[in-house]
Structure 1
Amino acid sequence: MAVADERREGCDGCGRVVSLEELTTVTMPDGDSVACCPSCAPHAREAARKLSSLDQRRGDCDGCTRTVPRTDLEDVVLPDGTVVTVCPRCLSEVPGRSSEAKAGTGAGSDSPAEAEARCSQCREPVAGEPFRVRTIDDRTEELCRSCKEAAEERGVVADVAMQAAEAREILGVDADATDREIREAFLTQIKHAHPDRKSGSRSAFKLVKDAYDRLS
Structure 2
Amino acid sequence: MTAHTNSTEPPQCDLCSDTTWQKLSLLLRPLIKHWVYCSHVSSWKGQEFDIIEDILQESLFRIFKYAKKAECGEVPPIEMLEHISIVIAHNCCKDMRRKDQRLTRLSLDEQTFVHQVVMPDRSDVSEIALDNLFREWLYIKVSQDIVKFPEKQRRALLVDLANMMHFDEEPTLLQQAFLKQKIRLQDYQQSLPMNSVERSRHASLLSVALKRVGKLKYV
Normalising by structure 1, we get a TM-score of 0.21
Q: Using CA pairs below 8 Å that are at least 6 residues apart, which structure has the higher relative contact order?
A: 2
Larger Rg: 1
More helix by share: 2
